[in-house]
Amino acid sequence: MAQKRLLLIDGHSMAYRAFFALPAENFTTAQGQHTNAIYGFATMLISLLKDEKPTHVAVAFDVSRKTFRTDIFPDYKANRAKTPDEFRSQMSYLNDLVTGFGITQFALEGYEADDIIATITKQAEREGAEVLICTGDRDSFQLVTEKTTVLYPKRGVSEMARMTPDAVQEKYGMSPDQYPDFAALRGDPSDNLPSIPGVGEKTAAKWIVEYGSLKDLISNVDKVGGKVGQSLRDNIDDVIRNRELTQLVHDAPIEYQVDALAWAGVVESDLTKLFEQLEFRTLKDRLKPILNPDSVVKEVKGQSNNVEFTLFAPMIEGGTLSPEELSEKIAQHSGDIALSFELLDEKLHRYAVAFNPSDVYLIHSEQMGEWAQNPKVSKIAHDAKSLARENLLDGVVFDTALAAYLVNPGVRAQELSDLLERWGDGAQIDTSSPEQSLLTGAAALFKLRGSLLTEMKDRGVLALFTDLELPIAHLLAVMENRGIAVDRKELEKLATFFEGEVTRETKAAHLAAGHEFNVASPKQLQVVLFDELNLPKTKKIKTGFTTDAEALNWLFEKTKHPLLESLLRIRETKKLGTTVEGLIAEIGSDGRIRTHFAQTVAATGRLSSVGPNLQNIPVRTEEGRSIRNAFIADKGFSGLLTADYSQIEMRIMAHLSNDAGLLAAFETGEDLHATVAGLVFGVKANEVDSEMRRQIKAMSYGLAYGLSSYGLAAQLDLSPPAAQDLMDRYFQRFGGIRDYLSSVVVQARKVGYTETVMGRRRYLPDLMHDNRQRREIAERMALNAPIQGSAADIIKQAMLNVERALISENLKSRLLLQVHDELILEVVAGEEEVLTDLVRREMGSAFPLRAPLDVSVGIGKSWNEAAH
């Protein structure tokens, strides 16, 4: 009879490691259920079962933190943080997963999983079995023998160290039997077991090796010299208690027979429903090496499914080609190619091209052939825009970064390696060298595309990917390459002016305070404002009282002190000066600035601008507009055209809520906020004063951004009851908006996500969170996402419409920038009139809202002059 090979797994320990190894935000179902711990545990389980080939398997779980050890020492593990809710919500699924694998699981009140494992291990050894223990708890090293090996995770749950007697001896200089004595001396911060002051691991190990055991050390404790010896004597009770707590129980009261833990493989049908529920579509194929042979459906005689399963091999023996040799191969290739690349200072350094997952080539060159810009050569890539902005790439039919973003836009980790963890179907990147990383990265894109295509279909966002996000990525790359011209001299003049203003106002601040001080130091500012000048106290913070911009504005409104006026002016001009200096630093040799549009950052779908941020240039002040005045039309162009949507958020609100009152207000064609204010306050539109209009404008936009009555009160400087009264009066007139806003959260809670007018989803798992604050934040996001996201979708569609029309009508004017709801174009002389009509038409037809889109257009020599 073959020897028993028993695999024992510490379920809690390994699931917890999986939870922290894989970002929680990367692993959520359509309903918002976190799955990172389950997924990581499942992949670990598959690897262990495939590689170790056990004949018997069991998993042990902890029940709670209250065990016999906490009875002995109430502070045992008391320092550990509360179990994250995202992990706790996965526990029942972990139990279902283990059952689905056909594995016996144990849990015993009052004992830890390691005690159960120790008990089963000793019995299995007595029966002559070989034992493998998979755990992240080093206390298990005391169980290591010639028959028992501990598989201890070195990184996440994917890489294990084999702790044999020789491995323990090599690492700690002692036998496994001596390890718990050493651990008692060392203490364990993770279990809140106290260490001996002044005694580190080296001293603890030295004592155990020298005396042989803790028992013999204690018998000779008076002979241990030096400060550490005295420290040992002073803390001997802690050491004895530590030793009692680190000893694993070998006779936990569980009912089991080792033979009953026999495991013959996975029955796939036992896991199908769970995998579907958890959206683990890529794991099914990875089960094949560990399936129970008797459960596999046999092929019908004479037929073949022609499917061969192979695990992805991370090492790829790809050849190195010259750009010319690669071009020849691509010319003879009829299918898609996958492309990975390495950038150096944002320029192409080298790249790899895969014709299929095992036919991959490395090109040590920044040169690409004509195929790169040939749209007929279909390409798969990750973040293709970062390469395409150098005008090197066209014909991208699949971008894994964009696809993953649409599948779950709340995820921040969008590196290729992160996506492969979740969607790679076993494909990995080999990071042993930059060359292998490129080769395996290109090869992996084929499998990743398949998984993400399935996910996008299932989540209803495939059309958004193919019709909007993929083409807009190409257009953004073109726009980034074009850049926008600036007047360097004008910017330098502004920089000098703002620097002078800071200097002048700093002197004025010193004069108002009666002495010099550092105006940028919050600590010194607190002393001047609250101790010396005895001004009203602001919000209390850790370091005293806040001196942020909001607090200084509040103080100035209350006191009108000249020092505060100077401080506010210093902050304002310093910020403007920093903005200008940043712009000057980004001017290229051709006098143009090139921003980068971040497409996969904002969860709502909005674009952001970085390097430099052109969305951050102020427009409400004259000095802010003076910065925009430095953005000009380049030689060969007559001016800039700006076009933006008028009140697009409110039009989307009217569309989504179908509120008759708001739709009627738009139909009048008059001042929307005055019309709405008249309805709310019960006066004619021409009787609405500026304060009424201000309040209603704040209310209208606030509702679109999930503003509460408390937030409205702070914004309008009203009491909370007055703000609530204003909100109630608003909803009396616009009941459709009230009903829509309440239904959005209810629906999102049911399905786990919100949707835009074009079907963009935002997943909000915190809508079901026990923590009220997190739940309320998610509710505000649920109110905000459909409106902001719809505005983002519409402006992107408008950009595509405008660009296609420019090409089809053979106009030389060109699209340069998108800033929030505004487009900026460079105008060729003689095309002004036709371009104005084209932009109005194409932007206005981007989406058929019930409150039609209204487009404002202006033309001028500069961005500021073109304002309308």
pLDDT in tens, 169-200: 998 888 999 988 888 888 877 777 888 888 88
Amino acid at 792: A
CA-CA distances (angstroms) from residue 693 to 650, 671, 727? 15, 10, 14
DSSP string, 551-613: HHHHHHHHH--HHHHHHHHHHHHHHHHHHHHHHHHTB-TTSEE--EEESSS-TTS--EEESS-
Higher pLDDT, 856 or 297: 856
- Whole-angstrom Cα distance, residue 311 to residue 867? 59
- Whole-angstrom Cα distance, residue 39 to residue 274? 12
Query: Residues 22-39: what's their mean pLDDT?
Result: 81
Is pLDDT at 213 greater than 80 in this prediction? yes
Whether the CB-CB separation of 556 and 574 falls below 8 Å is answered with no
Domains of the chain: which residue ranges? 5-169+249-261, 319-483
Residue 781 CB contacts under 8 Å (≥ 6 apart), including other chains? 603, 706, 754, 762, 764
What is the model's pLDDT at position 774? Answer: 78
Query: Residues 318-326: what's their mean pLDDT?
Result: 87
CA-CA distances (angstroms) from residue 279 to 36, 274, 426, 788? 12, 8, 15, 28
With residue 68 as reference, give the H or E element that holds it. helix 68-72
Q: Which of 264-273, 561-570, 810-819 has the lowest average pLDDT? A: 264-273
Backbone angles phi, psi at 639, to 5 degrees: 175, -175
Encode pLDDT of 389-418 as tens digits. 777 899 999 999 999 999 988 776 678 988
Please name which of 248, 27, 76, 63 lies closest in space to residue 148, comparing C-alpha atoms.
248
Helix axes 720-733, 735-751, angle to 10 degrees: 100
Encode pLDDT of 52-66 as tens digits. 999 999 999 998 878
Q: Do domains 5-169+249-261 and 319-483 have the same CATH topology?
A: no
What is the model's pLDDT at position 427? Answer: 83
Q: Mean of the per-residue pLDDT values for the chain?
A: 88
Encode pLDDT of 501-514 as tens digits. 999 999 999 999 99
What is the model's pLDDT at position 144? Answer: 94
Query: Residues 289-296: what's their mean pLDDT?
Result: 80
With residue 451 as reference, give the H or E element that holds it. helix 434-458
- Whole-angstrom Cα distance, residue 631 to residue 816? 11
**Which residues face 216 on adjacent strands?**
none
Q: For tokens 């910017």, name the residue.
A: 491
Amino acid at 322: S
SS3 72: helix
| Confidence class for position 307, pLDDT limits 50, 70, 90 | very low
Indicate the DSSP class of residue 224: -
- Whole-angstrom Cα distance, residue 303 to residue 306? 9
Backbone angles phi, psi at 652, to 5 degrees: -70, -40
Encode pLDDT of 483-501 as tens digits. 999 999 999 999 999 999 9
What is the model's pLDDT at position 868? Answer: 74
What is the model's pLDDT at position 225? Answer: 82
Q: For tokens 């909370």, name the residue.
A: 720
| Confidence class for position 316, pLDDT limits 50, 70, 90 | low
With residue 690 as reference, give the H or E element that holds it. helix 690-704
| Confidence class for position 1, pLDDT limits 50, 70, 90 | low
Token pair of 419 as six digits: 């996506």
- Whole-angstrom Cα distance, residue 681 to residue 852? 26
CA-CA distances (angstroms) from residue 269 to 93, 266, 273, 292? 16, 9, 8, 11
Query: Residues 584-595: what's their mean pLDDT?
Result: 94
Residue range 5-169+249-261, CATH number: 3.40.50.1010
- Whole-angstrom Cα distance, residue 38 to residue 275? 10
Is pLDDT at 263 greater than 90 in this prediction? yes
SS3 804: helix
| Confidence class for position 309, pLDDT limits 50, 70, 90 | very low
Is pLDDT at 20 greater than 80 in this prediction? yes
Q: Within 13 A of 69's CA, how many CA atoms are on the CB side?
A: 23
What is the model's pLDDT at position 308? Answer: 29
Backbone angles phi, psi at 345, to 5 degrees: 55, 45
Query: Residues 648-665: what's their mean pLDDT?
Result: 93
Whether the CB-CB separation of 763 and 688 falls below 8 Å is answered with no
What is the model's pLDDT at position 576? Answer: 93
Residue range 319-483, CATH number: 3.30.420.10
- Whole-angstrom Cα distance, residue 623 to residue 625? 5
Encode pLDDT of 90-132 as tens digits. 888 999 999 999 999 999 998 999 999 999 999 999 999 999 9
| Percent of the residues in the chain that have a pLDDT greater than 70, as a whole number | 96
- Whole-angstrom Cα distance, residue 860 to residue 868? 10
- Whole-angstrom Cα distance, residue 136 to residue 138? 6
Indicate the DSSP class of residue 418: H
SS3 854: coil
Length of the chain in terms of residues written: 868
| Percent of the residues in the chain that have a pLDDT greater than 90, as a whole number | 53
Please name which of 161, 114, 104, 99 lies closest in space to residue 12, comparing C-alpha atoms.
114
Mode of pairing for the β-strands spanning 347-356 and 337-344: antiparallel
Q: Which of 10-19, 502-511, 669-678, 790-799 has the lowest average pLDDT? A: 669-678
Query: Residues 582-604: what's their mean pLDDT?
Result: 92
DSSP string, 730-796: HHHH-HHHHHHHHHHHHHHHHHSEEE-TT--EEE-GGGG-SSHHHHHHHHHHHHHHHHHHHHHHHHH
Encode pLDDT of 708-759 as tens digits. 788 888 788 788 888 888 888 888 888 999 999 989 999 999 888 999 999 9
What is the model's pLDDT at position 524? Answer: 92
Full-model pTM: 0.73
What is the model's pLDDT at position 305? Answer: 31
Query: Residues 783-812: what's their mean pLDDT?
Result: 96
**Which residues face 703 on adjacent strands?**
none
CA dihedral sign, ordered 14, 16, 19, 20: negative
Is pLDDT at 292 greater than 90 in this prediction? no
Cβ burial of 513 (10 Å; 0-12, 13-18, 19+) is buried
| Confidence class for position 205, pLDDT limits 50, 70, 90 | confident
